[in-house]
């Protein structure tokens, strides 16, 4: 039961609405979904990989969609022919449909996805636009370009 009131911050900030709604969502209990298991790893300075264990699914049964900073992975098992199956004494391989969502930071794009040995690999890359990257500003001094002059008062005694 943790709730923070962000309304005073709404009055003095512009463009942080999404941030505040994400912070509000953190405090609310979400359905603890444990299927399918997944890993998130950093593979480079701006590269990431999500690996999901999707045993029993093939490429045609999986769909990956990226929209508005949310990556959604869905799977629906195609109807199998019951006649070809034998009688299961124990079924431990889950073939249930699932939908898993990942919040992506700004400028994170999905590069590619591959399915190998029951693992779905989704490679992500953070592309920061040139306008947002830090840049070095050269300092130019106008005084350095002008010739230096020494000014002094000359007295009549110094002239002789």
Q: What is the pLDDT of residues 58-88, one digit of tens each?
A: 888 899 999 888 899 999 877 665 555 677 7
More confident residue, 135 or 121: 121
For all residues of the chain together, what is the average pLDDT?
A: 78
Q: pTM of this prediction?
A: 0.60
More confident residue, 8 or 118: 118
User: What does the pLDDT read at residue 94?
Assistant: 67
The structure tokens listed for 50 are 């999500």
User: What does the pLDDT read at residue 15?
Assistant: 66
Mean pLDDT of 96-122: 89
Rounded-to-integer distance, Cα 133 and Cα 155, Å = 59
Three-class SS string for the chain?
A: CCCCCCHHHHHHCCCCHHHHHHHHHHHCCCCCCCCCCEEEEECCCCEEEEEEECCCCCHHHEEEEEECCEEEEEECCCCCCCCCCCCCCCCCCCCCCEEEEEECCCCEEEEEEEEECCEEEEEEEECCCHHHCCCCCCCCCHHHHCCCCCCCCCCHHHHC
Mean pLDDT of 26-50: 78
User: What does the pLDDT read at residue 1?
Assistant: 46
More confident residue, 122 or 132: 122
């Amino acid at each position: 039961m943790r709730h923070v009131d962000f309304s005073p911050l709404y009055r003095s900030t512009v463009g942080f609405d999404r941030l505040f709604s994400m912070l509000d969502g953190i405090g609310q209990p979400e359905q603890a979904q444990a299927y399918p298991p997944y890993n998130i790893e950093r593979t480079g300075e701006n590269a990431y990989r999500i690996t999901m264990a999707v045993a029993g699914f093939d490429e045609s049964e999986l769909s990956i969609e990226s929209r508005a900073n949310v990556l959604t992975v869905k799977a629906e098992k195609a109807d199998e022919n019951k006649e070809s199956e034998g009688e299961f004494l124990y079924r431990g391989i889950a073939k249930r449909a699932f939908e898993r969502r990942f919040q992506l930071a700004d400028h994170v794009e999905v590069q590619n996805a591959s399915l190998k040995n029951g693992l779905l690999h989704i490679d992500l890359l953070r592309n920061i636009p040139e306008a947002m990257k830090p840049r070095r500003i050269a300092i130019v001094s106008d005084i350095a370009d002008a010739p230096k002059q020494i000014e002094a008062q000359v007295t009549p005694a110094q002239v002789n």
